[in-house]
Structure 1
């Protein structure tokens, strides 16, 4: 039997250790699975009633709540640190500083004003730490909270009241910083979930009804209207349109969809309308798999984190044992007063308290993070700064990473003596009503002095037509060129040359012949070539991973100087390649800018997310 609990107070390996110690000895418990990012505990057990497990969790200070299968993933996510707790911690800091100032002014740390201020600081800021320390002692899980509790009590016992208060406050602040960092990661996953709409227009009987996406059955027909996000994966059965697949594949230009083509949940339909047959429920869509992969990858610990966990597991018991030995051994062997050695043992607990470790490490990391931030680089943790020096290879997404992510006109080829400016004027005039990225690029390339168009008509999946200056013109893709019989040898040669360079081609023609070709492409960033060169100078191998077609991938890779390029990749393909690279060649970095890169970004030893574009 499997039971899932959401535990609001489960934020780090400390709580995981307490829970594991409490449950591992219970009869019927087979396996425990921890998901700290979602604050979920999955218990595989043989108990007919999960209330026994719930009571065991409550006995160690946890607040377990049963999670039903239909509960949305976003449920139960409150603020990282409640507002009241923030105010209390702030007040604790004020009182701790006041205790230090008064102690320094009066020349004593044992006056009643100092003791009162210190007690107030400890009561406001140390309640949770002391509670966890007591639970740690009860469960024989000697962790950092236990040592902090002894340090606070020990400092007070030997009269160092200001130090007791300051230790309490600094440790509380460190815990809050950790909570905020975890919440940012949780928010990133919640934002992925919001890409897929919760409702879909499905065919129920003979009527189209808007229902919950989770209620749509496999094989059922769903209708997508212009501008809507697609709720589920499926195959187009009727109609045609172009779909912005950037959230899933990273392609910068919308992809034409017709009967038999696959569509993905979370992508955006453009101007057309179509019906598709559902091939995956909400839990099995490509987007859902991306989210699961992100969650699983985030649960994998970095080598440094594993070392810290192991260090903490042995450090606290060792310090406690050493303090006991200092208290007992010298009086027994040297016949000295117990009080002196007890004082020394408490001093050891205070100075050996890992508060210095807890605070000094973030201070060092924050210095590096601030330096990076001033250069426009946001780093999510010190471990990634450490890992960067070990990278021997880096994989890069194309769209929005190596390129601008916005198509521009790159070539204008005219036939039959038509001027290039006139060719652009006619094309821009016909494309003016369209919001397609290719049309936007052509309109931007020409400017605002366009001609008026009469009898305008959109030809779905092919292009547009209309009358300009009394003459009929067609503007569209390669398919339209074939249908209008434009593809004579000269035209076909130009089309093949430009398409071989990974460019999107648009043909302008009248009722008789093709007048010219306009090529549009996602242009390479000015800094990409230099960045790749510097990586090569450092001995780092480069690889491009993109959802665009392989021909476009090779063309861009050749421009930039990248060692290898792989195209037509879905997010799970990128993830698999990153895993293979890591297994075969060691540490690997991944550079990307969108949700489609998320699984690969978190699977890589270091993920570099380009924050300027899109998701």
Structure 2
């Protein structure tokens, strides 16, 4: 048996025997708001108790916990990755020895089969060897890739290798986690509506005075919202304060008894009406947590708390669609909240109630449907999907260590718009790579024809080799200022 208090992390998977507590399961399941736990509910290893105390019986060893299964899924997914074969490496592997053999054949068999002296044919072989030297071809790829990596780093995108920069242009779909990626990852007060005859300013002050003594994240969000709206107002003194575990709080203000709590508390106290039920249903269908303030006369106000969408998220989804990359959302939050957020962002495909292994399976399904797929996440629960995807993106500031370690690309300022920026940079890098390879091979081919027709000199060969090398270097370096040019 284990006992877990406020602020503690659940050490092992367990089932609650007694007590009530609110747990932050975002690192494991991705749920945006704390989940209330009571007798019979399952606790996941790695989740954090934000309010309350529970006693529980361990249900799995550390090696078989949810967290351990996540780690195992990451290893399995990473082992499924196929190594990328670089075109230039493969080409140079056969091209260089072939050119050397051909030049030796010219020097040896030229005088024997055609007219001319040994020195003349040896000179032609040298010209041919210098012209065919693959310097420009070999240099064209690393210079371009390093320039792209540097441009991305200056823009706040850290890429763990050139292979991911090159393959990003092939992404056909991107799956995005909701909590902490598309949303802020913390609850805020979104609605404050009067329900009785009392002014909303007064009811909000009463609610904040009651919740100020609670450590529950939803209560803290309401108090923070009150402070923004009424910064110069003092909280009211509360007497007979009490916490109603899993339901809300109660207390007396100026001799009048008040209750502040969730839908369950309203029903238990018998103050729910069809009108109030409709109001609560509307908020809950929008993916929000509804809170009701009431006294003996009935409900006086309805508040709502929710994890708000990042201001950049709509632009991020629009930018992906503009690049013809399908955007979908995967979250451990409930389907109602998932659908509400997806509708606001304009995302058609949204899936909720997903555990880590479910997200991994969803990525596999997207790959079979679209081809190359990217995954964007920030939590431990996203790590298996990040590993299973072709390119994994982690939010650098908000992301967990596991997500950052598993991902291939880190967005350091948590701006989801940079997913589209990365794909755009990858496409431009691919275009420059093609230009450089075409220039290197094209220039070599022209001078090779001149050499074979005995119209090329050694100086021309040196110019062709060094000129082509410098040309591809300067062309590749243009990528360093890719993002600064777009801004200007």
1:459 counterpart residue number: 244
1:425 aligns with 2:210: no
1:581 counterpart residue number: 366
Cα distance change, pair 527–334 in 1 and its aligned pair in 2 (3 A): same
Counterpart Cα distance in 2 of 1:353 and 1:435 = 65
Q: Deviations over 1:233-280 (max 9, x none)?
A: 222222221111111112221110112212111111123222223232
Instruction: Give the alignment's TM-score, normalised by structure 1.
Output: 0.57
Cα distance change, pair 278–314 in 1 and its aligned pair in 2 (3 A): farther
**Structure 2 SS opposite 1:371:** helix
1:295 aligns with 2:75: yes
Tell me the number of residue pairs that the alignment of Structure 1 and Structure 2 aligns: 384
Aligned 1:487-498 pairs, distance under 5 A: 487-498=272-283
Counterpart Cα distance in 2 of 1:439 and 1:372 = 40
Counterpart Cα distance in 1 of 2:69 and 2:338 = 25
Contact 1:541-1:563 within 8 A present in 2 as well? no
Structure 1 unaligned regions, length at least 5 = 1-220
Counterpart Cα distance in 2 of 1:466 and 1:361 = 70
Of the three residues 296, 303, 307, the one matched with 2:85 is: 307
Of the three residues 286, 289, 311, the one matched with 2:66 is: 286
Instruction: Give the alignment's TM-score, normalised by structure 2.
Output: 0.71
Of the three residues 51, 72, 84, the one matched with 1:271 is: 51
Q: Deviations over 1:94-132 (max 9, x none)?
A: xxxxxxxxxxxxxxxxxxxxxxxxxxxxxxxxxxxxxxx
Cα distance change, pair 241–412 in 1 and its aligned pair in 2 (3 A): same
The structure with the greater share of residues assigned to helix is 2
Counterpart Cα distance in 2 of 1:261 and 1:469 = 38
1:564 counterpart residue number: 349
1:255 counterpart residue number: 35
Counterpart Cα distance in 1 of 2:341 and 2:394 = 20
Greater alpha carbon shift after TM alignment, 604-613 vs 565-574: 604-613
- How far did 1:324 drift? 8.2
1:235 counterpart residue number: 15
Counterpart Cα distance in 2 of 1:599 and 1:419 = 49
Greater alpha carbon shift after TM alignment, 222-231 vs 254-263: 222-231
Contact 2:50-2:217 within 8 A present in 1 as well? no
**Structure 1 SS opposite 2:170:** coil
Cα distance change, pair 281–353 in 1 and its aligned pair in 2 (3 A): farther
Counterpart Cα distance in 2 of 1:437 and 1:528 = 24
Contact 2:377-2:399 within 8 A present in 1 as well? no
Structure with greater contact order relative to length (CA < 8 Å, sep ≥ 6):
2
1:391 aligns with 2:176: no
Counterpart Cα distance in 2 of 1:408 and 1:363 = 47
Counterpart Cα distance in 2 of 1:461 and 1:388 = 46
1:471 counterpart residue number: 256
Cα distance change, pair 367–505 in 1 and its aligned pair in 2 (3 A): same
- How far did 1:317 drift? 8.5
**Structure 2 SS opposite 1:272:** strand
1:223 aligns with 2:3: yes
Structure 2 unaligned regions, length at least 5 = 113-117, 401-488
Q: Deviations over 1:471-521 (max 9, x none)?
A: 221111111111111212221111111111111011111244222210111
Greater alpha carbon shift after TM alignment, 507-516 vs 546-555: 507-516
